[in-house]
Each structure stands twice: as C-alpha cells, then as structure tokens.
Amino acid sequence: MLLQLNNIFKWVQSGGQRIFLLKDINLEVKEGEFISIMGPSGSGKSTLLNVIGMLDTFDEGEYHFLEDSVHNLKEKHRSNLYKEYIGFVFQSYHLLDDLTVQENLEMPLIYKKFKGSERKAMVADMLDRFNIVGKKDLFPAQLSGGQQQLVGIARALISNPKLILADEPTGNLNSKQGEEIMDLFKQLNDEGVTIIQVTHSEKNAEYGSRIINLLDGRMI
C-alpha cells in the first residue's frame, strides 16, 4: 500500500455556506499503479492531486502515506515526506527560466542536500536516460514544449520518487509530443514508478491501469 485516503473533505466558506471542493473521497493506491483522474473543469481533479501531493491541506478525513498519517503531521515533516517520495510534473512544465536544463535537473538534489559530485553523477545519468545530453546547457526558452516537458519529467524523477503526480502533463503539447510523453509515463510505470495523472483526454487516460472520475468533488 502506497497511500490511502479515508473520507477526505475539503471546503471553502462562502457567504456562510460551505462550498465543497472535495467530498468524501476514499482512495487507495498501491505501488506500481498508474491512475488517471478525470472529470469536467472544476470537479476537483487538481485539488485532489494537490492534496495527495501534500501541497494542499484538507479539512476532514485521514490520509496515510506509507507508514505516516499525513493528517497528523506538522508542515515540516510533511514537506520532508513529499520531498523524499513524490515528484511533480506540470502542464506548463514550470522549469526555472534562468537555469539551464542541467541546472534545473540539479535543483531538487540541492534541496535534498546531495553532495556536488553525487549531484553531477545523478544529473548525468538522467540526461543520458532521457537522451538530452546535447541540450544540457540550453535554457528552457530554447527548447520545444515536448522537450521542456521531458526535462520536467526528468526533474521529477531525478531523486527516485515512489510516486509521480502529473497535472495534465500533455495539456500544452501537440498530439505527437503528447503521445511521446504518455509512452514515457507508461515505460516509467513498467519500471515500477507509481503514477497519478490528471487528464481531460480519454486517450491518455487509457494508458493508466485505473480511472477515477470526479464530479463536483465527489468520486463517481
């Protein structure tokens, strides 16, 4: 068992009324799964993903990640937890514009206090694995969208997370680039990485082993 959500509620107060963003979510994710979260705009897909990624809090319910009860953890422990086990991939890549490909890859390692020589080796490995050695000194603006997302995924993977969370990873890409990225995800999943992706596309959802449909914050 990688993670388990029990009766998760999240709401905001608006004019004395509670507007539910997430309503009674129960979800269990095993290691090695590839889950697609689907649903119309505003159904709470991204919110759920952020809750799983511990970037967002929830108001009620329990969240167990491996051995830890996330709902009882302090901010600091929580961030240590996701730092260690979770990697994020975004629709608009969110690479740092001022850093080269190589430096972008290196950044999470810096925050995890890896030594310089180790970092170098790990970055070199990753560049190799993704076939982007030739692009290591380019800045994000010099890359195509597909290439940027490739770097984004490489960055998410560099510290060997157990779980990859991807928020519409192909949303900004054309269909061919999108396909390549999805293939990559599939391949990673085959290598044992657990993946949860948010997507609008039925086709992309098919890559996963399980589909979760959300409507108005509720799983259906």
Site residues for another protein per CB under 8 A: 50, 53, 55-56, 76, 79, 82-83, 88, 90-92, 94-96, 98-99, 103, 106-108, 110-112, 155
φ/ψ of 30, rounded to 5, equals -95, 155
Q: How far is the CB of 119 from another protein (least distance, A)?
A: 10
**What residue has token string 């953890």?**
73
Q: At CA 108, angle to CA 102 and CA 109, rounded to 5?
A: 80
Residue 91 or 194: the one with the smaller Cβ distance to another protein is: 91
Q: How far is the CB of 21 from another protein (least distance, A)?
A: 12
Residue 68 or 186: the one with the smaller Cβ distance to another protein is: 68
Q: Length of the chain, please?
A: 220
Residue 95 or 143: the one with the smaller Cβ distance to another protein is: 95
CA 199 from centre of chain: 12
**What residue has token string 């994000």?**
140
Residue 42 or 209: the one with the smaller Cβ distance to another protein is: 42
Amino acid at 209: S
Q: How far is the CB of 62 from another protein (least distance, A)?
A: 22
Both structure tokens of 61: 């319910």
Q: How far is the CB of 69 from another protein (least distance, A)?
A: 21
Between CA 167 and CA 76 the distance in angstroms is 24
